Amino acid sequence: MFGFSVPELILILIIGIIIFGPNRLPDIGRFLGKGLNELRKVSAEKEKFKEPFTITEKKEKE
Whole-angstrom Cα distance, residue 43 to residue 52?
16
Check pLDDT > 70 for residue 5.
yes
Q: Establish if 61 belongs to a structural domain.
A: no
More confidently predicted of 11 and 56: 11
Q: Establish if 58 belongs to a structural domain.
A: no
Task: Please give the residue range of the domain that contains residue 32.
Answer: 15-52
More confidently predicted of 55 and 25: 25
Whole-angstrom Cα distance, residue 50 to residue 42?
12
Contact 16, 28 (CB under 8 A): yes
Q: Establish if 26 belongs to a structural domain.
A: yes
Domain total for the chain? 1
Please compute the mean of the pLDDT values over residues 45-61 and round it to a whole number. 60
Q: Establish if 34 belongs to a structural domain.
A: yes
Whole-angstrom Cα distance, residue 55 to residue 36?
31
